[in-house]
Amino acid sequence: MGLPRDTFRILHVSTGNVCRSPITERLTRHFVLQRLGVLGGGLVVESAGTWGHEGAPMEAHAETVLAEYGADASGFTGRELLDEHVIRADLVLTATRDHRAQVISMGHSAGLRTFTLKEFTRLVNAIDPATLPPLEDGLVMRARALVRAAAALRGWLLAPTAEADEVHDPYGAPLTFFRAVGDEIHQALDPVVTALTGVPART
């Protein structure tokens, strides 16, 4: 790991770290790569689970969903969420409100940088991209500003319903449900990656 200011770490958190958070991790990488042509600029994207299956492979249906997006599912192993993961993360995006509460309860001043994925999307959609540093100033600087802006809006932009901020667990479900979850994650990630990179998705 380089100097803390040289990197921006996004940590995706779900329960087992074999379904939702691996999909979210690999789709984030894939979409950044699509926008910028490179996964770099100090951006590190990783995942872990609150009841993580340490060393476990990704669920086969999750791999299938990633393949359908053209994303790389190779070389993945599940991880149990540890203090060090939260300490190092600049942004923690969780599948559910329960996961968010668990991360925040670990301490490490995690409250201001921990959101559910869908909550973060809602906040990001309310931020004027013109108020963020240009990408020329570096992806890390832009990403840090985005998290600060989202945290500042949190008390003002509440979820329309409690369910609105949840991505449900597809573990053990058929492929059709995994595909629905993959689509949900894709829809939530798209504005976030656009805000991070300053580059909209190609239509």
Average pLDDT over residues 123-148: 95
Question: Does the pLDDT of residue 45 top 50, yes or no?
Answer: yes
Per-chain mean pLDDT for the chain: 94
Span of 28-32, 36-40, 160-164, 184-188 with lowest mean pLDDT: 36-40
Level-2 CATH architecture, domain 8-196: 3-Layer(aba) Sandwich (3.40)
Q: Regarding predicted confidence, which is higher, 203 or 187? A: 187
Cβ proximity of 81 and 50 under 8 Å: yes
Model confidence at 2, in pLDDT bands (50, 70, 90)? very low
Name residue 111's amino acid. G
Q: Give 50-85 pLDDT, tens digit per residue.
A: 999 899 999 999 999 999 999 999 999 999 999 999
| Structure confidence at residue 1 (pLDDT) | 37
Residues 6+ apart with CB under 8 A from 163: none
pLDDT over 70, % of the chain: 97
The domains of the chain are located at 8-196
Q: How many CB atoms lie within 10 A of CB 5?
A: 11
**Both structure tokens of 140:** 């890390």
| Structure confidence at residue 203 (pLDDT) | 64
- Residue 99: its H or E element: helix 97-105
- At residue 82, the 3 state secondary structure works out as coil
Model confidence at 49, in pLDDT bands (50, 70, 90)? very high
| Structure confidence at residue 5 (pLDDT) | 60
